[in-house]
Every structure is written in C-alpha cells, then in structure tokens.
Structure 1
Amino acid sequence: MECGKQLMRNHPQYTLDHSSNPNLPIIDDPDYCESDALDNATSKTCHSVEHSLDRLVFRGAENVAYIFIYENFRLMELPWGSAWTWYLAVVGVDFCYYWLHRACHEVHILWAQHQVHHSSEEFNLTVGLRQSILQGWCGFLFYLPLAVIIPPAHFLTHQQFNLLFQFWIHTKSVHTLGPLEWVFNTPRHHRVHHALFSRLALSGPDMLPLRHARRTCVTSRMLVGKLVVLKGASLRAERLVWTGLLLSRSSLHKHHGRQRRSTSRCNLYCLDKNYGGLLIIWDRLFGTFADERPKEEIIYGLVYNQPSFNPFFLQIFYNMNVINKWKSMSNWQDKLAAVWKGPSWIPGKPRLGAEEDKLDIKSRDKYNVQLPLWCNIYLLIHFVVVVIGFQELALRYMGMSPLAVLGFVAYILTSLTTIGMLFDNHPYACLFELVRCLAFVWYVHVFGPNYDPAISILQSVFLLSTFFWLLKTCHILQIKVKTK
C-alpha cells in the first residue's frame, strides 16, 4: 500500500495540467470565436476550474480505493513494460467509461450530476471544459473492476488521456474523418450525442424542469415551459431595483433577454446515442450508435435551460428535481424507481420512458444578459486573477497543508460563483462581490507575504473593488428604501 501511495504522489496529473491553462487551445477554435459570448465562455471555463478543484481534493480517495483492490485482489500481475498491458488499459478504461456515460443518461440521480455537461447552448471546445463535480464522486465505481487486472499507473494514465481526448471532439469545425469514424469517437459522432431532443412526461405537482433534450417532466396541470416563465417572472420584480447596478438605461429593456434565436425541430434520431469516449465500437456493439444526418440542423442544450451563468447553481440545481420526483411518488417502490430509473420514467411506463412521450421543440431562444462594457472588463480581469490563483494552487498544493488547500479551494469556488452571479445580474451579486473583495484584502493584510510586488498590486486592485462595490451597494440600498 505504501508503494501505491508513492505512486499517487509521483504520477503526472495530465488533466490538472490541461485545466490550469483552460483557455489556450480554445481561442483558435472558429466555433468559439463565432458563437460564444464572454459570459457563456467564462461560465464554461468556471466549470472546468471547479471540476479540477474537485479532482484535486477528492482524487486521492478514489486512487486509494483502486490501489487497495489491486494490491489485495488482483487476479494476475501484467508485465509493466509490455505494450499489451498499455493496450489493455486503453480498451478497458474506455469500456468502463462507455457504461459510466450510459448510466449517467439512463439513471435519474446520475443524470442530475451529468446534465451540466449538456446544458450549453453552443457546441465548441469550451463545452469540453463543462464537467460535472458530483459525477466523479460515484463515477469512479465503474472503473474499480479494472483494478483486478490493470496496474494503477496504467489505469491513471489512460483515464486522464481518455478525458483529454474527449475535449477535442466538442467542435463543429471537423465534419468527417473518413474510415476513422468506424472505430473512433469523432466530432461528427459526438455532435449527435449532444443534440437536443426530449420526451414529455407527467410528474408530481412541484416538479421543476427536468432533464435536457432527452426527457422533460411536467406537472399534470402545466407544461414545464410555463413553470420556467413563472419562475422567471417571480425574479423579475425583485431584480428591477437592482438592475441599475450593472445595466445602463439603454440596455435595461434587454435585461434577461434571450437572443440569437434559431428555429429547428428536435433531433429525435439522436435519442440516447453515442456514449463512447475514445472508441465508438461500443455503441456499434450495444445498439446505441447513430450517424449524423448532415441535412438536419442540430440544436444543443437542454429543452428548458436554467437561465443562469452561475456555475455552482448549474452544477447542483437538478438534484432538487430528483428530490421532488421522489416526494411525489406514493409508495417506496416508486420512490426508489424515481431515483434509479430513467429521468422521464413514471409509474406504468418503461424504465426510460415511453416512445409516445417524445416531444418536438421547434424553436430555441438562447439565454444572454446584456451587461455594459465596464462590467464585462471588470469581470474579465477578476476572472483572470482567479484562474492565475488556481494555477498557483495546482503548482503548490502538494507542499501546502490540507487546511490551507481547502481554504484556497473554498475561496476560488466562491469567486467563480460570484462572477457567475454578476453575469446573471443577480440581485445579491454586489453584496457577494463586496464580501469577496473585502475577504481578499483582509487575508493579504494579515497573512500575505511582505514586499511582494505582485501581491501588492492585487491588494490595490481588490481594495479599489471593495470601495466601488461598497458605494454601489449603499446607492442601491438607498433606492430600495425610497421605493418602499
């Protein structure tokens, strides 16, 4: 076991190295340059940083479980330097990923964690950064059977390479790769997997919008679309006073406007298809393969997307849908089925929902909040600072105490959440940002190194930001008092 712990400390963190520079390969992607606004692209990169922070904290526990099984229950010891050991690791990791990915679409509680990856309304390299935090907490169980054969070093290497490969298939720029399409997962195949489609089902009276393109639950009294409208309307009255914080009068009418409208039908032939990571042969073998139809336009995202750029909210909101569905069931058998069966399952229907419940969505409005230029510049600057902080943590965390790492992680997560709230023009975003900036100034003043020019510059930036948001908050509070 001691040898296994030494392996974990010395094994390269390929995905962490990639995530610590999340924007470098994206700026050359034509899809990104044409389609992604600053808020959308920043939100996706926030998901990547959050996922990497989660892996940084919890990856050790997963590795310990794998190494424990290998050292105590392995069936054979494969030769370390043999090419066949590495080939077996490649195939084994991708086979397990196929079933993990398929389960994430066919098991309700797993879909609640995976849906964030499908929530983007664009399809470019930034979508590859949009990874789930909570999915990894249970997803590693699908890889543990490999521990009876595959050495830990081979597994850890190819699990990371498998994930890195999938980053590059999130693009519309590559149309076809010829004969490689028969064996490997390609952008053409993965576009099918991300296509928008839906099922319409009935559910409990308090159900929030459920699942993305594949299956969407509504109440017995109203469609989910109405729920979304009502939910948005309830927030609008509260935000009217706060809108002036970020938006100018000329852009006020655009607040929470949905722009870049496109029209198409749902891609029903894409339903539950193309789960492979590196290889597409698993989908061909198990009947989940579908080829792209070039003449049919593909629309991406969830049928009823949550109108938010807050990465933390998008990571966790769907779990309330699972809880509400569980509560709506009348007996324990159905309650358990509401968790482990498909997202659109209802009593009396097949595990993955009924075919007659498929729903065509004919139009698509994309969420976009119009912010003034100064606000976008401010958010971009602070986002870059957060990414630099994450890079420093990725380089130094092995030499830091666990408490210091957790504190660093908590501050970065809070910063990403606040940036998302500001992009949403959330009514309490200015208060969160004020506290965040003040916390940074206090920490540097008490614990920061002396005579460090970089830290001094950052402290000055955050001090100015603190005064700015303090004045803004006082101004908005005065307006609220007058309106009452």
Structure 2
Amino acid sequence: MAEVIAEFRKLINQYHNGTGTPLREDFSQPDYFVQAIPYLLTFVVLEIVVMWIKHGSLRGGWSMADSLTSFSHGIYFLAHGMLTQGMFSYVYTKIYENYKIYELPWSSPFTWYVAAISVDFCYYWIHRACHEVNIFWAKHQVHHSSDYYNLTTALRLSAFQIWLAWPFYLPMAFFVPPSILLIHKQFNLLYQFWIHTELIDSLGPLEYVLNTPKHHRVHHGSNRYCIDKNFGGVLIIWDRMFNTFAEERDQEKIVYGLVEEVNSFNPFWLHFFHYTRIWTRVQNQKSPSDKLSVLLKGPAWRRGKPRLGEIEDVPVVQNRPRFHVKLPTWKNLYVGSHYLCTFLGFHYLTINYLNLAQTSVIFSVAYVISTLTSLSLVLEDRKYIAALAEIARCGATLLFISFAKSSINTLLFHFIYNAFSLSIGIWVVYLHDVLRKDALLCTNKKT
C-alpha cells in the first residue's frame, strides 16, 4: 500500500487538463494530523495541569492506563491509514478525473467553504450510521470505550473507521478536488480534538451553531437521554435539522463509556470484542431475516422491536466505578518508558514511511501493534501472560536489531540492546518470584 500512496502523490501532481496549466492537485497535501501531534500532546499536558489546579488531584478526570489506551488506539488508527489511505484516495481521484460534473475553481473561497460544509455534512451521516447500524457500531464503539472524558479520549479512534467513511465522501468527487477533500477531512478531525474535555462549560451563542464540549459530552454519555444524540463534527446544526440533538442536563451527571462495559486496556481486544458479541447474537437467531437484522439494525435492536430498539430497554446507567487496576510503581514506570520509546519510533515512521519498502512498513506496523498489545497486558496486571509476552517481545527486538546492527547508529544500538536486555532480566526475575509465591501458596493450602 505504501507504493499505492506514493503513486497517488505522483498522480495528483500531473497535468490533466491538456492546456499546459497545472491542475489544482499540483499543490502538495501536508499531513496536518501528524504535524499537529506535538501540539495535541501539549494541550493534553495543559489539561492535566488545569485539572490538578482546579480539583487538587486527577482522581475522576484522568488515568494513566486509560490515556495510554487512548494513545494506543490513535496509533492503531494512523498505522492502518498508512496501509490503506492511498487506495481510497486513488478511487476518489479517479472518479474526480473521469466523472466530475462541475470543476469548482481552486482559487475561489467558495470552493473551500463548499468543501468544509460538505465534509461536515458527510461526517454527520457517517457518524450517525456508525451508531444506528450494528456492524458499523462494531468499528466505532472503540471511540466510546473510555469511561473518562478528556483530550486523550479524542485520540481513541478505530483503525477500521476509514473502511466505512470513504464511501460517504465519494459523491463529493463529482465537484470537489481530491486535495481539498483530504485537507478538509484533516481539519474536520482536528477540530474535534478540543471538544473532548470537561473543563469548558458553555460558549454562549456559539452553542447554537458549533459542536462544542457541552454538546459532545452528551454524545459520549451512557445515560438514556444521551444515546444516539449529537452526531455533528464541526457544526451542530445537522443534529438540530435532523432531530438528533440533545441538550446537556445540569441536574443529571453524565456517565461516560459504553452502556455495557468491557473493562479492558487492551487496544486489540477493544477493536474486536463487539464482533464476538454480534456473532453470538447472530448464532442465537432462528430466521435469516433476524440474523440480518442483528447486523444491519441498531445495536439495541431485538426481535419485535423498532429498528433502533426501545430506549426503555437501555439499562439505566447511574454512577459506576471506573475500570482501574492498581499497579506497583515499577510497572507504571516500565510501561511509561517503553510506551515513550514506541511512540517516538512510530512518530519517526509516520514521517518517513513513504520512503520505506512496503515490507518494512508492514513489519514496523505489526511490531508496534504487538508492542501496544503486550504493554496493555502489563496495565491489566496479567501476571504470567504479561511477563511471557514481554520476554518474547523484548527478545524479538534484540534479535532484530542484532541482524540490523550495521544500519543502526552505534549509540542507539547499544541503548536499545541494553534497555531491552535489562527488561528481559526484570521479567525473568519477576516471573520466578510469582511462581515461587504461587507454589508457596499452594503448599500452604494443602497443609
């Protein structure tokens, strides 16, 4: 797919109108989302500082394990985009080249306004479909799986969202140039970052037009009045127009997360667990039409009920304890340090992946995903499996860098080699200690 993306980059920089004048696509499309990462992280830190100043602690508003899980999903999202983005962009470009009905002038502000509004309108229907079609919800529920609501929640994106989103944008190919679409999709996504916070209350008259933290808090709630409401991306007017708007209630505390909690920090499991639920429900249906309904109707649909189910059947969610696993300090430090190394390596990959061989990109993505999955087992304090997974991961890392030693900076090689060797030693000692304690416990029970 890396080659497809590179080919797309070349494609949109060619001459297509036969007049010797460059097409609007001659302008490069910067990856604003990747460029914005340092600024997004800065705002995450600022939010944590403000929380601490305002409340005297972070309890109830932030969790390291939850935030690292959200970051992991963001990496999943970007990693999957590396492998598939070019394919969808290529399809859009081909439709625009061969079937466009009207060519909007590149230099006109009107074109950019039309693109911005069109992207947001399409996003509304994408988002609504994700909530109202069960098989689509399986992709989107990742974003709602956190029982916290802070800026890191905005990064909790599904890797598979693009497979659903792109068909909704394809009608724009009849009049909106590809590069303008790509830019406005990034702007639309970046706008939605700041609305994932509890620190901002009301923005006055802007609340009537824009999607704001106040409106989006409702969208993330598990309370009955919050279900399937406020789908807008930048504008809230779509929800007001199509009767999916709900105002935040001051007298009812919003409970965040899924209605049926999953209680996991594992990004891989969080991506796939709802498919297992769908499969179980399909297996339990007797008629083919009911099996199909499980897939294509709402997540709350039951036989004899409306397409989206009855709101009265949704459990009343009141205050509930957030998923939390207390870890010793050394495990928190271990996960934090290895996660930082993974993030820095992945950030380098996002900048340079178009210059790498496809096999290298696929291998790197697989390594990152396995690393995040393994570290999540530590966050969940899965003693045996976490220790074995980390020993295997660190061992594989040492094996790889040993083969690639000639292409790695000497100082960096020794740092990685020593760090991962030490990590293996830590887990071997830990595993030995756990086995000794469990054996002693079994002996005491027998006596």
- TM more than 0.5: yes
Q: Is the 8 A contact 1:20 1:390 kept in 2?
A: no
Report the CA distance between 1:453 and its aligned residue: 1.2
Match of 2:271 among 306, 315, 321: 315
**Displacement, 1:451?**
4.8
Equivalences, count: 414
Distance 1:8 1:24, change over 3 A: farther
Q: Is the 8 A contact 1:195 1:299 kept in 2?
A: yes
Q: Cα 1:85–1:474, aligned 2, differ >3 Å: closer, same or farther? A: same
Letter of the aligned partner of 1:173 in structure 2? L
Is residue 286 of structure 2 the alignment partner of residue 330 of structure 1?
yes
Name the aligned partner's letter for residue 411 of structure 1: Y
Partner of 2:366: 410
Does structure 2 retain, via aligned residues, the 8 Å contact 1:193–1:275?
A: yes
When residues 383 and 137 of structure 1 are mapped into structure 2, their CA distance, relative to the original with a 3 A threshold, is: same
Partner of residue 27, structure 1: 45
CA drift of 1:480 comes to 5.9
**1:465 paired residue number:** 423
Task: Identify if the C-alpha distance between structure 1 residues 356 and 36 changes in structure 2 by more than 3 Å, giving closer, same or farther.
Answer: closer
Question: Which SS does the other structure have where 2:119 is aligned?
Answer: helix
What is the CA distance between 1:9 and its match in structure 2? Answer: 10
Q: Deviations over 1:43-79 (max 9, x none)?
A: 1111111111111221111111111111111111111
Q: Is the 8 A contact 1:104 1:111 kept in 2?
A: yes
User: Which amino acid letter does the alignment assign opposite residue 434 of structure 1?
Assistant: I
Cα separation, 2, equivalents of 1:143 and 1:358: 32
CA distance in 2, matches of 1:390, 1:151: 30
C-alpha separation in 2, matches of 1:277 and 1:4:
27
Shift of 1:272: 1.5
Where do residues 12-161 of structure 1 align in structure 2 (5 Å cutoff)?
A: 12-19=30-37, 23-30=41-48, 33=52, 34=58, 35-161=61-187
Q: 1:177 to 1:183 in 2, by over 3 A?
A: same
- What residue is the counterpart of 2:388 in the other structure? 431
Q: CA, structure 1 residues 451+128, in 2 after alignment: closer, same or farther (shift >3 Å)?
A: closer
Q: Secondary structure at the match of 1:277?
A: coil
Is 1:168 aligned to 2:186, yes or no? no
Looking at structure 2, the residues matched to 469 and 420 of structure 1 have their Cα atoms a distance apart, in angstroms, of 15
Q: How far apart are residue 412 of structure 1 and its match?
A: 0.7
**Please, which runs of 5 or more residues in structure 1 have no aligned partner?**
198-267
- Could you tell me which residue of structure 1 aligns to residue 20 of structure 2? none
RMSD of the TM alignment (CA)?
2.0
Map Cα deviations across residues 210-258 of structure 1 (whole Å, 9 max, x no partner). Answer: xxxxxxxxxxxxxxxxxxxxxxxxxxxxxxxxxxxxxxxxxxxxxxxxx
TM superposition shift of 1:280: 0.6
What amino acid sits opposite 1:127 in the alignment? T
Q: Deviations over 1:91-131 (max 9, x none)?
A: 00000000000000000001111111111111110110111
TM-score, scaled relative to structure 1: 0.82
- 1:8, 1:135 → 2: CA distance? 28
Partners of 2:259 and 2:315 within 8 A in 1:
no
- Deviation, 1:454, is 2.4
Aligned equivalents of 2:66, 2:331: Cα separation in 1: 15
For 1:87, the aligned partner's letter is: Y
Say which structure is richer in helix: 2
What residue identity is the alignment partner of 1:3? Answer: L
Deviation at 1:3, TM superposition (A): 2.9
Aligned mates of 1:174, 1:377 — CA distance in 2: 31
Higher percent of residues as strand: 1
Listed as ranges, the gaps of 5+ residues in structure 2 are: 1-7, 15-24, 53-57
1:438: how far off? Answer: 0.8
Asked if 2 retains the 8 angstrom alpha-carbon contact of 1:124 and 1:171, the reply is: yes
Question: Within 1, Cα distance between the matches of 2:359 and 2:37?
Answer: 23
2:17 matched to which residue of 1? none
Of stretches 184-193 and 440-449 in structure 1, the one that deviates more from structure 2 is: 440-449
Change (3 A) 1:478 1:358: closer
SS of the equivalent of 1:77 reads coil
> Relative to 1, partners in 2 of residues 1:355 and 1:394: Cα closer, same or farther, differing over 3 Å?
closer
Q: Which moved more, 1:55-64 or 1:278-287?
A: 55-64
Give 3-state SS (helix, strand or coil) of 1:276's partner.
coil
Counterparts of 1:62 and 1:136, CA distance in 2: 9
Aligned-residue offset at 1:479: 5.7
Cα distance in 1, alignment partners of residues 299 and 283 from structure 2: 15
Determine the C-alpha separation between the residues in 1 that align with 2:124 and 2:104.
24
In structure 2, what is the equivalent of residue 445 of structure 1?
402
* Cα offset, 1:270, TM superposition: 2.1
Deviation of 1:362 after TM superposition, in Å, equals: 2.9
* Distance (Å, rounded) in 2 between the aligned partners of 1:48 and 1:450: 27
**Comparing 7-16 and 380-389, the one that deviates more:** 7-16
The one-letter code matched in structure 2 to 1:273 is K
- Whole-Å Cα distance in 1 between the matches of residues 253 and 432 of structure 2? 49
- The one-letter amino acid paired with 1:417 is T
Q: Structure 1 residues 412, 111: closer, same or farther in 2, change over 3 A?
A: same
- Rounded Cα–Cα distance in structure 2 between residues aligned with 1:367 and 1:420: 14
C-alpha separation in 2, matches of 1:294 and 1:450: 57
Cα deviation, residue 359, structure 1: 2.6
Deviation at 1:366, TM superposition (A): 0.9
Report the TM-score, using the length of structure 2 for normalisation: 0.88
* Alignment-derived partner of residue 3 in structure 2: none
The counterpart of 2:412, out of the listed 447, 454, 460, is 454
Alpha-carbon deviation of 1:396? 1.4
**Structure 1 residue 471: Cα displacement:** 3.2
Matched, 1:4 2:22: no
**Residues 325 and 434 of structure 1, relative CA distance in 2, 3 Å threshold:** same
> By how many angstroms is 1:10 displaced?
3.8
Contact 1:329–1:335 (CA under 8 A) maintained in structure 2: yes
On the 8 A contact 1:32/1:125 being kept in 2, the answer is no
Q: CA deviation at 1:382?
A: 0.5
Check the 8 A contact 1:22/1:48 in 2, yes or no.
no
Q: 2:320 aligns to what SS in structure 1?
A: strand
Which range is displaced more, 470-479 or 460-469? 470-479
Shift in alpha-carbon separation, 1:8–1:395, aligned structure 2, 3 A: farther
CA deviation string 1:71-91 (max 9, x = no partner): 111111111111000000000
